[in-house]
Amino acid sequence: MSVNWRELAKRAATILTVLLLATSLQIGPLLAAEKVTVFAAASLKNALDDVTAAWKADSGKDVTTSYAASSALAKQIESGAPADIFISADLDWMDYLAGKKLIKEDTRTSLLGNSIVLVASKDKAEPVELKKGFDLAKLLGDGRLAMGAVESVPAGKYGKAALESLGIWSSVESKVAGAESVRAALLLVSRGEAPYGIVYKTDAAADKEVAIVGTFPEDSHKPIVYPIAILADSKNADAVSLLDYIKSDKAVPLFEKQGFTVLK
């Protein structure tokens, strides 16, 4: 029986093409899954976007970043959300995850510092001195004070502590418009929906529609510290590389450009 080698070769080529296509379809999602996933406090967006873009340019690798209130992100991680790195806007929420063994303790570092400020719409901004007894309620009038939810959002907790320290909280508590994140509070002021807001200094720098009218004294609240750590369930080898880059001298000017203090 004669063998049609040409026909067999065609069939073999067709089978090989099908196998290669099937393999590529299986590998594609796996490669996509190798992106480093970062959960980061909303106030980090501008600075961290710059840092991860620089890392991508250096390494050729991509990053998926999810921004929200540290409290919301920590709860998502606790519920099993897939992420490799967590950057919180306060120590409490990192401690929360550490207590549940959800971070790799040996990767934890205090990364950045910040300050909280009172902001107003740029066209209505008049400087004020934030000191004991300052009549913030009078300044607000019938308007609301935008700030992160004081029970959970770090910026809201810092803001409430500062107002209590200055003896102001009880007079403005009923006027507070609690937001899901500090960036949401900033947006309320930027859009003119609230005349004043309490946000981080770095947030004010990120929005051209608002201006800082006063800075809260450093001793009126706990030091603002942003810790970073790799999560316990992370299997992505690139997470270590990205963490090291975020902590490196290359990232320092990118964080400082947005007003953060880099902790060493």
Enclosing H/E stretch for 146 = strand 145-148
- CATH number, domain with residue 69: 3.40.190.10
Q: What is the mean pLDDT of the chain?
A: 89
User: Is residue 11 one of the residues assigned to a domain?
Assistant: no
Q: Nearest to residue 200, comparing CAs of 141, 134, 261?
A: 261
192 and 204 together in one domain = yes
Query: CA 241 to CA 144: how far, in whole Å?
Result: 44
Residue 3 lies in a domain: no
- What would the pLDDT profile of 203-230 be if each residue is shown by its tens digit? 998 899 999 999 999 999 999 999 999 9
Parent domain of 202: 116-220
Mark whether 128 and 213 lie in a shared domain: yes
Residues 133, 49, single domain; the answer is no
Kindly state whether residue 23 falls inside one of the protein's structural domains: no
Direct distance between the N- and C-terminal alpha carbons of the chain, in angstroms, rounded to an integer: 80
More confident residue, 5 or 182: 182
* Whether 57 and 132 share a structural domain: no
Q: Examine the domain organization and report whether 192 and 245 are in the same domain.
A: no
Per-residue pLDDT for 24 more than 50? no
CA pair distance 239, 248, nearest whole angstrom: 14
pLDDT score for 264:
75
Residue 123: pLDDT band by 50, 70, 90 thresholds? confident
- pLDDT tier, 125 (very low <50, low <70, confident <90, very high otherwise): confident
Q: Does residue 123 belong to any structural domain of this protein?
A: yes
Whether residue 163 sits in one domain with residue 187: yes
Mean of pLDDT values over 245-263: 96
When pLDDT is cut at 50, 70 and 90, the band that residue 7 belongs to is low
Asked if residue 130 is part of any domain, the answer here is yes
Distance from CA of residue 141 to its chain's centroid? 32
**Torsions phi, psi for 166 (to 5 deg):** -90, 0
Examine residue 247 and state whether it is found in any structural domain, yes or no.
yes
Write out pLDDT tens, residues 52-86. Answer: 999 999 999 999 999 999 999 999 999 999 999 99
Residues 213 and 161 in one domain: yes
Per-residue pLDDT tens digits for 87-116:
999 999 999 999 999 999 999 999 999 999
Q: DSSP readout, 104-128?
A: -GGG-EEEEE--EEEEEEGGG----
Q: Is residue 4 part of a domain?
A: no
Do residues 47 and 140 share a domain? no
C-alpha of 49 from chain center: 10
Indicate the number of domains in the chain: 2
| H or E stretch at 252 | helix 252-257
SS3 content of the chain, % helix, strand, coil (to 5): 50, 20, 30
Q: Is the pLDDT of residue 31 over 60?
A: no
129 and 78 belong to one structural domain = no
Residue 14 lies in a domain: no
What's the pLDDT at 83? Answer: 96
Domain identity same for 176 and 154: yes
Same domain, 42 and 56: yes
Residue from 116, 120, 87, 113 nearest 207 by CA: 120
The verdict on 215 and 146 lying in the same domain is: yes
Burial category of 180 from C-beta neighbours within 10 Å (exposed 0-12, middle 13-18, buried 19 and up) = middle
